[in-house]
Chains A and B, each alone.
Chain A
Amino acid sequence: MLRFVALRVGRALLTIALVVTFAFVVLRLSGDPALMIMSPDAPPEALAAFRQAWGLDEPIWLQYLKYFTAILQGELGQSFRDGRPALELVAERIPATLQLTLPALALKVGLGVPAGIYAALHRNSAIDRAVMTFAVTGFTVPSFVLGLVLVLVFAVQLGWLPSGGQESWRSVILPVISMGLGGAGILARFTRSAMLEVLGQPYIRTASAKGVPWGQVVRGHALPNAAIPTVTIVGFMVGTLLAGAVVVESVFSWPGVGRLMVVAVSNRDLAVVQCILLLVSATMVTSNLIVDLLYGVLDPRLRGTAPAGGGH
C-alpha cells in the first residue's frame, strides 16, 4: 500500500515538474523574459535588477534550476498592470470562481450520475432515450451559446434573472446552469456506459441467479463496480474547479480566475498567466492524485500494482 501511494505521489510531482519546465521553455522561446515579465517600458535599472534577480546572465541550466526553486518558494513574479504579486491577484479571484464552479459541480454530479444509472437500468426505455439525447445535446452545445440563450430568455425577455455581474445569489443561477448542464450530460453518458458494462458481467448474473433481490444486486454489486470510471470523470471535473469557468465567466462578466486569465492573455500579462497555469495544474494534479488513491479504496485489486505481487 505504501509503495502504491509513493508511486502515485511521485508521478504527481513529476507532472508538476513537467508543467514548470513547460512554462520555462515557453517563456524562454518567446523572447527576453525580463521584457516579457516587466513590460518593455520598465526603467533599465529595474530590468537589470530583474535580470540579476532571475539570473538571466547565467548559463541556461543554472537559470532553469533557479527558476524552479523560485517557483517552489512561491516567487511567481508581478503583474505588470499594477505591479502587485501575481499570486495575490489570482488568489483574491478564487472565491468568486468557486461560487460558480462548486454549485456547477454539484449540479453535474447530482443530475448526471442518477440519470446515467437510471438510464442503464432501464435500457432502451423512453427515459433512457431522453437521457441519451440530453447527454449528446449537453456535449454539443457550447457553454457560451447556452449561456447567451439563457440570458436572452430569462434576463432579456422574461426579466426574471440578472444577465451578469455579481450582485445577489440570483446572479449565480444562469452561469451555474450554463456550466453544469453540459457536464451533467457527459457524466450521464459515462455513468450509463459504465453501468451497462458492469451489468453484463458474469458476477451480476451469478448474484441474480442465486436469488439475490435485484435492488440488492444493483446496490451491492453493480454500483460499486461502476463507480471507478465515474469517479475518474468526477475527479477530472474537480480538477477543473479553478479553470473550468473561463468561458462562462466571460459571458456573465463574473470577476473570477477565468475572467482574469482572459484579460491577462489579451494584455500579455505573463506573470499572471504563468501563475494561473501553475495553480491550475497543481489543482488538476492533486485531484488526479486523490482519484488514484481512491481507486485503491474502491478496488482493492489495484493496491497490488507493485510488480512483485505487493505485500499489503
Chain B
Amino acid sequence: MSEQVVPVVAAPPRPKVAIPPGVALAMLWLGLMVATALLADVIRPYGITAMDLRARLQPPVGFGGDWAHPLGTDELGRDVFSRLVESIRMSLMIAFGATIIAAVFGTTMGFLAAHFRGWVEQAVLMLIDFQASMPFLILALSVLAFFGNSLPLFICLMGLYGWERHARISRGLAIAANAQGYAAAVRQLGATPMRIYLKHVLPNIASTLIVAATLSFPEVVLLESGLSFLGLGVQPPMTSLGNMVGYGREYLTRAPWILLSPSVVIVLTTLSVSILGDWLRDRLDPTLT
C-alpha cells in the first residue's frame, strides 16, 4: 500500500512543454472553424437559400452523390455544404459574442463587489447564487417567451450564461489583489479606481479569466444549438448548426446526411474547445474547476 503515499517534493521548474497531439489536433480544428467563419462568403459555393429543384435530397459524395454538392442537398435542393459553412459562422459568432458579454459583465460585477464591499457585494453575491441555482435553459426560454426573438436579444441572452463564474472569480482575485503591494502602491500614487482595476488588477488576473471563458464557450455552443434545434433560437432564413439538426430531423430516415454533418461539427468543436480549455487550465491555473 506504500505506493499510495506520494511524498511531497518541491515541483521542479517547469520545462518548455511540447503541445500534446490531442491539443494540437483540437487547435487545428478550431483554426479551421475560425477560418471557415471568417471566409464563409468565399468558401461556400451556393447561397444558403439557393434552391436546385432538380437535385433534391441528393446524397453526399461517397454515398451516391457528386461533387456539385459534396455534402448532399436537402428537401428544397439547397446545398448542405454551403448551409453548413454559414451555420458555422453564425454559431461561432453567437458563441464568441455571448462569451465576451458574459466575461465583461461578470468581471465588472466582480470588480464592483470587490471595490465597494458592503451591500453592493451582498447584492452581487445574491445574484450569483440566484443565477447558479436556476437551470439556465428554463430562464432563457422564459425570456424568449416574454420578449419574442431577435438575433441581438438572443446573443445578449446567451451572454447572461456563465457571467456568475467570471464574477465569482474576479471578485475573489480582486479582493486578493487589493491586499497586495502593487495595488496599494498605485493607489498611493493617486490612481483612480478605474485605472487600478483596468490597468493593474485586470492584467494580473487575465489568464484565469481566459481559462474560465474557454470552459464556458462549449457550453454556450451547446445551449445555442439546443435552443435553435427546438426552433426557439436562430430563426430562418438565418441558419445555425442547431437549426440544421432540427430541420434535418424531419428527414432522418430519408436523408440522414442533413443532420449528421452539423452534428459532427458541433461535437468536434465543443470537444476541441474543452480539450484546449482543460490544457490551458492545467498550464495556467490548476486551482480552477
Query: Which of the residues B1, B144, B147, B256 comes within 8 Å of A208, measured between beta carbons?
Result: B1
A-B contact pairs, 13 of them (CB 8 A): A11-B129, A19-B134, A156-B252, A205-B4, A243-B135, A262-B230, A262-B232, A265-B141, A269-B145, A274-B142, A277-B138, A284-B135, A288-B133
B270 part of interface (Cβ distance < 8 Å): yes
Contact yes or no, B135 A240, CB < 8 A: yes
Q: What residues on A are CB-neighbors of B232 within 8 Å?
A: 262, 265-266
Neighbouring A residues of B263 by C-beta, 8 Å:
145, 148-149
Q: Which residue of B lies closest to A204 (CB)?
A: B4
Mask, A139-156, CB within 8 Å of B = 1, is 111111100110110001
Q: What is B's interface to A at a CB cutoff of 8 Å?
A: 1, 4-6, 126, 129-130, 133-135, 137-139, 141-148, 218, 222, 225-226, 229-232, 245, 249, 252-253, 256, 259, 263, 266-267, 270-271, 274-275, 289
Which listed segment binds B: A22-30, A59-67, A71-79? A22-30
Q: Which residues of B contact A288 (CB under 8 A)?
A: 133
- Which of A137, A144, A193, A261 sits near B245, CB closer than 8 Å? A144
Query: Shortest beta-carbon distance, B110 to chain A, in Å?
Result: 19
Residue of B129, B142, B263 with most partner-chain A CB within 10 A: B142
Does A199 interact with chain B (Cβ within 8 Å)?
yes
With A266-B231, A273-B145, A284-B134 already in contact, 14 other A-B pairs whose C-beta atoms are closer than 8 Å: A15-B129, A15-B130, A19-B130, A144-B226, A193-B289, A199-B4, A243-B138, A244-B135, A246-B137, A247-B230, A250-B229, A268-B145, A277-B142, A280-B135
Chain A contacts of B230 at CB under 8 A? 246-247, 250, 262
Which residues of A (145-184) have their CB < 8 Å from a CB of B? Answer: 145, 148-149, 151-152, 156
Report the Cα distance A145→B222, complex, angstroms.
10
Task: Report the minimum CB–CB distance from A29 to chain B (whole Å).
Answer: 8
Q: How many residue-residue contacts, CB under 8 A, span A and B?
A: 128
The contact of B142 among A26, A140, A143, A204, by CB within 8 Å, is: A26
Q: If the complex has contacts A26-B142, A200-B6, A261-B141, are A247 and B1 also in contact, measured as CB distance less than 8 A?
A: no
Shortest CB distance B142–A (Å) = 5
User: Is A136 interfacial (CB-CB < 8 Å)?
Assistant: yes
Q: Is the interface of A mostly helix, strand, loop or mixed?
A: helix
Can you list the 3 inter-chain pairs with the closest CB atoms, starting with the nearest?
A140-B270, A265-B145, A30-B146
A280 in contact with B245 (CB, 8 Å): no
Contacting pair B135 A148 (CB below 8 A): no
CA distance A261 to B227 in the complex (A): 12
Which chain B residue has the least Cβ–Cβ distance from A36? Answer: B146
The prevalent SS among residues of B at the interface is: helix
B41 to chain A, nearest CB (A): 27
Contact A136 B126 (CB under 8 A): no
| A270 interface neighbour in B137, B146, B252, Cβ under 8 Å | B146
A36 to B263, CA, bound (A): 36
Contact for A23 among B4, B5, B142, B249, CB less than 8 A = B142
Residues of B within 8 A of A140 (CB): 218, 222, 267, 270-271, 274
Report yes or no: A285 in contact with B253, Cβ–Cβ below 8 A: no
CA distance A289 to B231 in the complex (A): 34
CA distance A251 to B230 in the complex (A): 9
Contact A285 B226 (CB under 8 A): no
Name the CB-closest residue of B to A213: B1
Chain B residue nearest to A267 in the complex (CB): B145
| Assembly CA distance A281 to B249 (angstroms) | 31
Write out the residue numbers on chain B whose beta carbons fall within 8 Å of the beta carbon of A247: 137, 226, 229-230
In the complex the two chains form, is B143's CB within 8 Å of A26's CB?
A: yes
State whether A27 and B130 are in contact (beta carbons under 8 Å apart), knowing that A144-B245, A262-B232 are contacts in the complex.
no
Which residues of the other chain, A, contact B130 by a CB distance below 8 angstroms?
15, 18-19
Instruction: Give every chain A residue within 8 A of B226 (Cβ-Cβ).
Output: 142-144, 247
**A203 at the B interface (CB under 8 A):** no
CA distance A11 to B128 in the complex (A): 13
Asked whether, in the complex, the Cβ of A246 is within 8 Å of the Cβ of B141, the reply is yes
Do B266 and A264 touch (CB < 8 A)? no
Contacts of A143 in B (CB 8 A): 226
Give A195 to B81 CA distance when docked, in angstroms.
45
Chain B contacts of A151 at CB under 8 A?
252
Q: Is B129 within 8 A of A208, CB to CB?
A: no
Instruction: Name the B residues within 8 Å of A53 (CB-CB).
Output: none
Asked whether B142 lies within 8 Å of A281 as measured between CB atoms, the reply is no
What separation, in Å, do the CA atoms of A18 and B225 have in the docked complex? 28
Question: Would B145 and A264 count as touching, CB distance under 8 A?
Answer: yes
In the complex, residue of chain A having the shortest beta-carbon distance to the beta carbon of B147: A30
The reply on A2 being an interface residue by CB < 8 A is: no
Contact residues in B for A276 (Cβ distance below 8 Å): 138
Are B271 and A209 closer than 8 Å at their CB atoms?
A: no
With A15-B129, A27-B146, A193-B289 known to touch, is A214 a contact of B4 (CB < 8 Å)?
Answer: yes
Chain B residues contacting A250 (CB-CB under 8 Å) are 229-230
Contact call B145/A281, Cβ cutoff below 8 A: no
